[in-house]
Structure 1
Amino acid sequence: MNDPNLSPTSLTRSETVPALRHEPEAPENAPTNPRGTWGRFALICLPYFWLSVFFLIPFVIVARISLSEAAVAIPPYLPVIEWEQGLIGLWEAAQRWSFENYIWLIEDDLYWKAYISSLQIAFISTFLTLLIGFPIAYGMARAPRVWQPTLIMMVILPFWTSFLIRVYAWIGILKIDGLLNQALAFIGMIDEPLVILNTSIAVYIGIIYSYLPFMILPLYSSLEKLDTTLIEAAQDLGCPPLRTFWRVTIPLALPGMVAGCFLVFIPAVGEFIIPDLLGGSSTLMIGKTLWVEFFSNRDWPVSSAVATVLLVLLIVPILMFQRHETRRNEGDT
């Protein structure tokens, strides 16, 4: 029997809305797909296999050569490990390992000065690249969507030309009678040509130009995802533009800044072509010192020790930073 005082609006949700259909839950002991398990396992192992073949194994070979002694032979060192003798031969070889090459790196000031100079040049170049790349990436992220693919293409366009050719082009620009001095003299800014080539300034210019795209692209990736409503909210709350930039934009773009700094700093430390062609003999960097020891002096053990120390100097801070970031992310969650 219908109640005349009952209106349609007084019906409960369960009376007006049909019950949702619940899907049957899978049993807890349901068999897993072995093909999917092996596929995930292969996908995880593939990068580790790549790192083992192209990073770990070459590093072990270089470290083994660094413990050897130089010799007039082919190859120019005495092997300290003979794999065909098994574990017994490995133990006997370990007792003959020599760390004199590493001690030599400490005693000879040429090498630690080269390390310090390389770290200094790489740090300053990375900082200047960040200062130049951030406004470019910010402008690309704030550009209309239609123009962004074209702007990205313009950033990666130099990669279509050989790295060596691009560095050689800077020789023609920076030399005494190069394009830069001719342009400055034509507009009346200088009376005498500037000496830029074969100086540290030329090295900075070459590194910044060569690695600027590696800074711009990660920054653009972070800034492009930036939520503009956060900036608008900060401005509505009375936050000045400069303070909004430091409090909102910079923290949100920090992952791209860190990635870009790593992509520029790591190859800049071991750079050889740019200081050799643009810096001349007065520029001291570890990559150039390594090349001289390996090819000119043919001292493979010392050059291997130089490469091993350089790798440790780069890898250890990166691993420490990644561990710190992992702990911080776990703490945030």
Structure 2
Amino acid sequence: MQANMGMAGEFRVVVKRVDGSTKIDTGYQKNLILNQGLDFFGGNNGSDMMAYCVIGSGNSQPVYTQNKLDTAIAGVSGADFSTKNNYNASTDGNLYKTNRVRKYSFSGLNNTNISELGLASTYSATTTYFLCTRALIKDSQGNPTTITVLSGEVLEIYYKVWAVYDITDKTGQINLLDGAGGSVAYNYQFKLANVGNSSYYLSQFNNVSPASSVGKYQSVCSGDLSAITASPTNKLAEISNSTMQSYVASSYKRIALLPFAVNEANGSIRTVVLDAKIGCWQIRFGSVANDSPITKTNTQTLTIPIEISWGRYEGAL
């Protein structure tokens, strides 16, 4: 069973004159999510891929395998500027697209040439940072260009990172092991949950790490699947001790383990709700034989593994 998120990024460069008027506004341009940026979600390299913006003067063509700017000049932390987490079925179709915009302000540059930039999840110096994205600044014709920030002017970077989800149902089959060598085959149906709820869709750009568990609380319910804008009802149990298997570099996935002890989740388990920090999903179980739910008693434990994966989104925004 797999929960998946796609990533994309855009940036906008604005230069303000000393009097506050706008000298340059490039509008939004696409950037590259680096392989290292995808590895960020595995943990251990900061908690927010949008924590810092780093600017530089290099001009090499961005490639997935880069981990630094060509020539870094400065880096600053940002502040949240806006977010989008609404869903409109008539216009959004089968994709749920959310985004977060952060603003980064650079002052005191004093006649500095800027041609490249990127997001970093950690930053302590121009030689020490964890770069997640990279881009060259381009002119109105789409050609790489250099912007000169004069003394007294302020450089503002607006960075927009998108998280994109496929809202169509996913189905498959698993075998539930009984611990004594036997198994029962179950069909599963997998779909998004709580779409449009800011409590679940404003953390997509944080890592999925064991230090913070999988997310908030995982639930098992006797109720059936709901619409993607809600979640199943009739909660049987809620746990906060979900864990993650170790991340393998360049795999862009982690396995979440949802454990239920003998005194938890006893009854007929029809659905599970997974809050994975980078999204929220609901999963329905029905036996292959007769569509009956999973039945758990107070003499049994239950562990549900779910793969959480992420990658680049290359489609239209």
TM range (shorter): under 0.3
Could you say which structure has the larger radius of gyration? Answer: 1
Higher strand share: 2
Scaled by the length of structure 1, the TM-score of the pair is 0.20
